Amino acid sequence: MGISLSPAALSASSSAVSAAVSSVIRRVAARRAAAAGVAAALLLAAGCGGGGSQGEPGAPALDIGHPSAPNSLDPAKINPAFNWYVNLAYDPLIYRAPDGELVGRLAESWRYVGEGNTAFEITLRPGVLFSDGSPLSAEVLRDNIAYFQSAAGPAAAYLAPVETVEVVDERTVRLGLSEPSPLLPTIFTQDYLAGDLISGPGLADPAGLATATAGAGPYVLDPAQSVANDHYTYVPNPNYWDRASVRYGRVTIKVLPNPNSALAALRTGQVDVIQGDYTTASAAESAGLRVTYTPQVFQGLALADRGGELVPALGDVRVRQALNHAVDRQRITEALFGRYGTATEQIVLPGTSGYVETTRYPYDPDRARALLAEAGYADGFTMKVLTTSFANTHLVPQALAADLEQVGVTLELVNQAEATNYLTDMASRAYPAYGIGYGTQPVHLMGPGLFLPSAAQFNPFGSADPELEALYQQAAALDDASRAEVDQAIISRLVEQAWFLPVVFVPVFFFANDDVAGIEPTNHEPIPNPVHWRPAA
Amino acid sequence: MLRLVLRRLALSVPLVGVITLLTFLLQSVAPGDTARTLLGVNYTPAAHEELRHELGLDRPVLVQYGDWLTGALRGDLGTSPITGLDVGAEIGNRLAVTLSLIVAATVVAALAGIALGVLSAVRQGWLGRAVDVLSLAGLGLPNFWLGLVLVSLFAVALPLLPATGYVPFTDSPGGWARSLVLPVATLTVAAAAVIAAQTRDAMLAALRQDFVDTFRANGASNRSVVVRHALRNAAIPVVTVVGLVFVSLVSGTVLVEAVFAMPGLGGLAIQAATQHDLPMLQGVALTFTLIVVVVNLLVDLTYGWLDPKVRVR
């Protein structure tokens, strides 16, 4: 362990101490000299150029700030919060455009075979090479699916129904599913990463995928210009199949954990784009930066103990409905998030599949009291609620607690600062309700993670509703057009049964300077893909 | 002196063992585990158990610790199961950042703190009180806030210095110095205040001793009395507090590294703890412990240099 600096430093410190004391005694002249020395040092430092990453000569460069370093660069293991780190180097099979349209990338075409969404066929784009020069083929796609399933990362759950992978010809693969899965095209987009194909040599060395890239995307990680957990530099992939679409000679993602520091880095030109948050949105606008945002994460409460194991009152649907009536969503939204928030009683966004236009729970404390009395809880009750200050998820539960107190329901809020501890406590079945912040997804994809009995994390009591499950199964076998109606029935059922107490959709923010265009978050693509950003005209 | 060094080194061996064992045990009983971090939120209990088994997390904690210790004694700190990075290499990459910050901040704080403390003790009166007030103000300023203010002033309003980032010395000595100015200034204020307060007390005590009057009666200059005799006499508690400041800066850099987006050990420790990255956390804990051991040893050696009686003991 090289700590050789310390003795030298201490030795230097000793002599420096004597020098400093002498300067005190020499009074004014020495103070002036010291001040001049500091000023000279600062000027010298200010005058020296900092180091920087080198890009392709003449080509524009893009610098992006991200709040965290990725847990891995392996698309089969990376947390989806870090998608930008793989978006640049891995083209997906299918691209989801900001308007929601699915566009072929590595896949030339795709389709469900027959009825019931239990067989799916993908035909690959011809002539595609990975950044390491190896070719894309049906065998590589087959091996990728096996790897994603075994890698135990976030995409594995979405690919669990894939039972067989048959290579039909050199560009075509057919997937056999153990149960209907209607959203495979979505799962193979950049959002869910399962379509971010890894090269054959990359698959042969899975350990190396954590720190290097082996994709068929427009860029490739340059390890010589990258420092893990600090900055990641990508340069154009010489083998990219669509070279004309590559706009930058270098793209660097810098890790900027503090939102205020990230904003300062953007204002001083160290970066061109950052993922912001609502605490700095007004400051960003005041500084003349471009601020774009779209609602994405619903916050509120999950009334998890729907069987009344810990708090019998929650086992009565009238009580859960009463809680939904007791909260003034619009007031809380405006107070906490101003114009950036969107009040909601549903877990899906307006304009997306499943959204129900009618409002079931207008703010009505009298109706809430009446329902509580009807259920035998006219005097109210008390329950423990788990919250977390991670991503400020605790703010909405704190705000709605005052509203619930007005109808006699007291919340004992227990906060866990760390997300990991919060998730562990949530799954422990020790809390009848918990504060939730959940990035909304298509209804079918939210089932296994959020509201089906198998959702170990977010449905800790394993709440089951046969009607809900029947609707879910029915939707799974339908095509997109027919499924929308059943998705609405699922959301209606969740709202009616009041399994959740959603309050607000919190947006994701992006701040940018005027040098970059194309950052357009939408309901369909809340996290814009940097691959499609471009230099402003 | 050699015996002193050997005795201190011998005592530090159990210290390193206890710290690493405690870190391992505490992280093992903390909620969550590596498998959950890897699986994300959409996992099944069966998949979780399978991955725990695969990672060896279902073995007794002491067996896991024994494995880690065996590797560490061979110089192999393992590989992060979360990031796939070699722990030793990753710590080596970040050590220079953290040591640059701590050493520079300690040197600047010692220079400023001792100068202010001596000035306060020698001059007293309004100047002494002003130094006291400045010292208290320095102690009261939160590092985190101060860092953001300095960025606003010297990076945004007056674009003299970079708002964030670290430039390795080998890439650009000038860039390295520029990247350190604001974070070091942030760390220095409170540290200098502590050293100034300690120096002032120790100097006042030294200046009240009889030998000072004797030197003055013999015609020694004020400078000679203060620097050669009183300061040397007061140096041991000052050196102690400088050592403590160095050690406290090891943890103090955590927030400052975050504010200035510097890839140091503090950020690595937080990341490893929140992700249940046990090998990485163990590596960081071991490094921090070794830094503390080395600094304490250097402080002891300095005592010996300042006071011959210590060498004899």
Which of A85-89, A223-227, A457-461 tops mean pLDDT?
A85-89
B205: pLDDT confidence band, cut at 50, 70 and 90? confident
**Residues B252-285: tens digit of each pLDDT:** 888 899 889 998 998 888 888 888 888 999 999 9
Predicted pLDDT at B43: 67
Predicted pLDDT at B313: 52
Which of A61-70, A323-332, B55-64 is the least confident region?
Answer: B55-64
Residue, of A82 and A432, whose pLDDT is higher? A432
Predicted pLDDT at B134: 78
Predicted pLDDT at B211: 84
Cα dist. A527→A98, A155, A506, A519, B277 in Å? 9, 17, 13, 9, 27
Predicted pLDDT at B253: 86
If you average pLDDT over residues A510-528, what whole number do you get?
88
Predicted pLDDT at B6: 82
A432: pLDDT confidence band, cut at 50, 70 and 90? very high
Residue A355 in tokens: 């959204």
> How far is A469 from A482, CA to CA, in rounded Å?
17
Q: Which residues of A touch B106 (CB under 8 A)?
A: 9, 13
pTM of the predicted model as reported, rounded to 2 decimal places: 0.79
**Residues A199-220: tens digit of each pLDDT:** 999 999 988 898 899 999 999 9
Predicted pLDDT at A54: 47
> How far is A193 from A80, CA to CA, in rounded Å?
8
**Residues A382-392: tens digit of each pLDDT:** 999 999 988 88
Predicted pLDDT at A56: 58
Count of CB pairs separated by less than 8 Å, A with B: 234
**Residues B171-182: tens digit of each pLDDT:** 899 999 999 999
Predicted pLDDT at A216: 98
pLDDT at B167 > cutoff 70: yes
User: Which residue in chain A is spatially nearest to B261 when comparing CA positions?
Assistant: A256
pLDDT at A55 > cutoff 90: no
Predicted pLDDT at A21: 31
- Gap from B178 CA to chain A (nearest CA, Å): 5
**Residues A114-151: tens digit of each pLDDT:** 999 999 999 999 999 999 999 999 999 999 999 999 88
- Residue type at A288? G
If you average pLDDT over residues A354-361, what whole number do you get?
94
Q: Which of B51, B173, B258 sits opposite A152 (nearest CB)?
A: B51
If you average pLDDT over residues A51-57, what whole number do you get?
46
Predicted pLDDT at B311: 59
Interface test with B, best of A3, A14, A17, A253 (most B CBs within 10 A): A17
Phi, psi of B120 (to 5 degrees): -65, -40
For chain B, what is the HEC assignment? CHHHHHHHHHHHHHHHHHHHHHHHHHHHHCCCCHHHHHHCCCCCHHHHHHHHHHHCCCCCHHHHHHHHHHHHHCCCCCECCCCCCEHHHHHHHHHHHHHHHHHHHHHHHHHHHHHHHHHHHHHCHHHHHHHHHHHHHHHHCCHHHHHHHHHHHHHHHCCCCCCCCCCCCCCCHHHHHHHHHHHHHHHHHHHHHHHHHHHHHHHHHHHCCHHHHHHHHCCCCHHHHHHHHHHHHHHHHHHHHHHHHHHHHHHHHHHHHHHCCCCCHHHHHHHHHHCCCHHHHHHHHHHHHHHHHHHHHHHHHHHHHHCHHHHHC
Residue B274 in tokens: 């929140």
The reply to whether A47 touches chain B by the CB within 8 Å rule is: yes
Interface test with B, best of A5, A27, A53, A258 (most B CBs within 10 A): A258
**Domains detected in chain A:** 34-67+220-289+513-537 (3.40.190.10), 69-217 (3.90.76.10), 295-507 (3.10.105.10)
- Mean pLDDT over each residue of chain B, to the nearest integer: 85
If you average pLDDT over residues A290-316, what whole number do you get?
95
Interface list for A 443-472 with B (CB within 8 A): 448-449, 454-458
If you average pLDDT over residues A1-20, what whole number do you get?
31
pLDDT at A7 > cutoff 50: no
Q: Of B186, B173, B206, which is closest to residue B146 (Cα–Cα)?
A: B186
Residue, of A26 and B170, whose pLDDT is higher? B170
- Mean pLDDT over each residue of chain A, to the nearest integer: 87
A12: pLDDT confidence band, cut at 50, 70 and 90? very low
Looking at the DSSP bridge assignments, the partners of residue A231 are A227, A254
A16: pLDDT confidence band, cut at 50, 70 and 90? very low
**Residues B73-129: tens digit of each pLDDT:** 898 999 888 878 889 998 998 999 999 999 999 999 999 999 888 888 887 777 777
**Residues A463-480: tens digit of each pLDDT:** 999 999 999 999 999 988
Residue A192 in tokens: 């869910």
If you average pLDDT over residues B50-63, what whole number do you get?
87
| Strands A381-388 and A433-439, sheet pairing | parallel
**Residues A315-354: tens digit of each pLDDT:** 999 999 999 999 999 999 999 998 899 999 999 998 888 9
> How far is A109 from A102, CA to CA, in rounded Å?
11
Predicted pLDDT at A40: 34
Which of A279-283, A415-419, B114-118 is the least confident region?
Answer: A415-419
Q: Which residues of B touch A49 (CB under 8 A)?
A: 172, 174-175
Sequence spans of domains, chain B: 93-274
Predicted pLDDT at A38: 34
A458: pLDDT confidence band, cut at 50, 70 and 90? very high
If you average pLDDT over residues A272-291, what whole number do you get?
91
A27: pLDDT confidence band, cut at 50, 70 and 90? very low
B310: pLDDT confidence band, cut at 50, 70 and 90? low
A19: pLDDT confidence band, cut at 50, 70 and 90? very low
pLDDT at A414 > cutoff 80: yes
CATH 1.10.230.10 fits B93-274, yes or no: no
Percent of chain A with pLDDT over 70: 89
8 Å CB contact of A156 and B47: yes
If you average pLDDT over residues A17-22, what whole number do you get?
34
Percent of chain B with pLDDT over 70: 96
Looking at the DSSP bridge assignments, the partners of residue A298 are A438, A505
Q: Which residues of A touch B166 (CB under 8 A)?
A: 230
Q: Which of A20, A423, A424 sits opposite B111 (nearest CB)?
A: A20
pLDDT at A444 > cutoff 90: yes
ipTM, interface predicted TM-score of the complex:
0.75
Predicted pLDDT at B42: 65
Is the Cβ–Cβ distance between A469 and A455 less than 8 Å? Answer: no
For residues B94, B18, A420, B81, the Cα torsion angle rounded to the nearest 10 degrees is 60
The reply to whether B290 touches chain A by the CB within 8 Å rule is: yes
Predicted pLDDT at A53: 39
